[in-house]
């Protein structure tokens, strides 16, 4: 079965500093996708970044980058130059592989990031 683990319930970072949010995953499938979503206090789910299991390069989207270490089954999110508006809950998620007829998302428990001035 597929599983996502986020071991940091909460993280603090000072404005303009970089922060890494940890995510490890478990799957026996060779083909899968890894996602990060941001959920501000308003409740909506905002897509941040995607990494495919066969992608050779680490994904980047603006200030977000995904540190993908396939052998260690980790997909950490790095936020550079943190801003106050980055304060939110962050979820790591995985979508199914070839053995699944669906790309449903399996989510971790989330990490609450607080950025302070």
Q: Applying CB under 8 A, which residues contact another protein?
A: 31-33, 35, 37, 43-47, 50, 52, 91, 93, 95-97, 100-107, 109-110
Q: State both tokens at 94.
A: 């995985």
For residue 43, the minimal CB distance to another protein (Å) is: 6
Closer residue to another protein, CB minimum distance, 20 or 31: 31
Q: What is the DSSP string of 63-106?
A: TEEEEEETTTTEEEEEE-S--GGG-EEEEEEEE--TTSS---EE
CB-nearer residue toward another protein: 13 or 23: 23
- Give the chain's count of helices (H) and strands (E): 0, 12
Which of 62/81 has CB closer to another protein? Answer: 62
């Amino acid at each position: 079965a597929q599983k996502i683990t986020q071991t940091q319930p909460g993280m603090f970072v000072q404005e303009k500093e970089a922060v890494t949010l940890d995510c490890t995953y478990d799957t026996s499938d060779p083909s899968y996708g890894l996602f990060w979503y941001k959920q501000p206090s308003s409740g909506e789910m905002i897509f941040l970044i995607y990494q495919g299991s066969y992608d050779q390069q680490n994904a980047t989207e603006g200030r977000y980058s995904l540190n993908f270490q396939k052998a260690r089954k980790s997909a950490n999110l790095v936020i550079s130059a943190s801003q106050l508006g980055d304060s939110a809950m962050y979820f790591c998620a995985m979508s199914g592989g070839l053995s699944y007829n669906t790309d449903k998302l399996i989510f971790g428990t989330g990490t609450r990031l607080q950025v302070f001035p």
